[in-house]
Amino acid sequence: MSGHLSRRTCRPILRTRMEMCDGVRRSPRSAIKSSRTLKLVLYKASVFAALAVSISVLQACGPKRTNESDPTPVLSGRPNTTYPMPPVNRNVQLGQLGWASAEGNHVTLADYRDKVVVLDFYATWCAPCRESIPHLIDLEKRYGPRGLVVVGLNVGGPDDRTEVPAFAREFNIHYELGYPDEALNDALLADSDAIPQTFVFDREGRLVRRYVGFGYSTASELEETLKEVLGG
């Protein structure tokens, strides 16, 4: 989205005769005053509308709530590619953490030693998550032969798991999909549950980069990181 919003404004029609605006006959002078007031009201309305639009395009979602009284989903900010690394417990071996694959197998990061791994935490109902999928598909297609593995991990809640097969068909996803273990969520999402979140691990299984949210710059920055980690 561009840095400024395109706003449409309405202008009231000012008539010189005594008019019936809201059931009250008004003189030309009072009509002018009413027109100015209406312009001010419309201007304020357009400002609020613009703010509503800007809020609707924030590029990160919070977790979907199951309680109907809670907002669904919660928007929580613009993409942050300089977000600090998660506070991983040093007693936790990341390589032993993993997820259940869509086929029902249990997989760990250690299974991908000598590969560069991208873990993408997403939900099918999350708009910026959906926006990021074509970029991940493209990266996996172009860099897979060089050792890149992309894994999409659904964190949209129990109800969202049933949507994953249709989601994969909709986007024609061929990279691995799965559901993270609680320990993996605790290790990587402890300080922020906004999604999408994308983590890059090098060939030694070390976490080298974290992205929170998705925006126009995220795709290019992620690709530059992968080029560096893949070696060229």
The per-residue pLDDT for range 18-75, each reduced to its tens digit, is 333 333 344 444 444 445 555 554 555 554 444 443 333 336 676 554 443 333 233 3
Q: What is the predicted pLDDT for the residue at 168?
A: 98
Q: What are the residue ranges spanned by the domains of the chain? A: 1-57, 94-230
pLDDT value of position 94: 77
Three-class SS state of 197: strand
Q: Which residues fall within 8 angstroms of residue 24, CB to CB, at 6 or more apart?
A: none
Residue reference for tokens 């910026």:
128
Does residue 213 contact residue 194 with C-beta atoms inside 8 Å? yes
How far apart CA 110 and CA 116 sit, in angstroms, is 11
For the chain, give the longest Cα–Cα distance.
Answer: 82
- The 10s digit of each residue's pLDDT in 66-83 is 443 333 233 344 455 555
Q: Residue 76: what pLDDT?
A: 41
Per DSSP, what are the bridge partners of residue 118? Answer: 150, 200
- Collect the ranges in the chain with pLDDT lower than 70: 1-60, 62-93, 232
* Nearest Cα to Cα of residue 187 among 70, 86, 65: 86
Q: Cβ neighbours of residue 135 under 8 Å, at least 6 residues apart? A: 218, 219, 222
Given a contact cutoff of 8 angstroms between Cβ atoms, the answer to whether 225 and 82 are in contact is no
45/50 Cα distance (integer angstroms): 9
Look at residue 203 in the predicted model and tell me its pLDDT: 94
Write down the CATH number for the domain with range 94-230.
3.40.30.10
Structure tokens at 102: 């869509």
Looking from the CA of 37 toward its CB, the CA atoms found within 13 Å total 7
pLDDT value of residue 139: 98
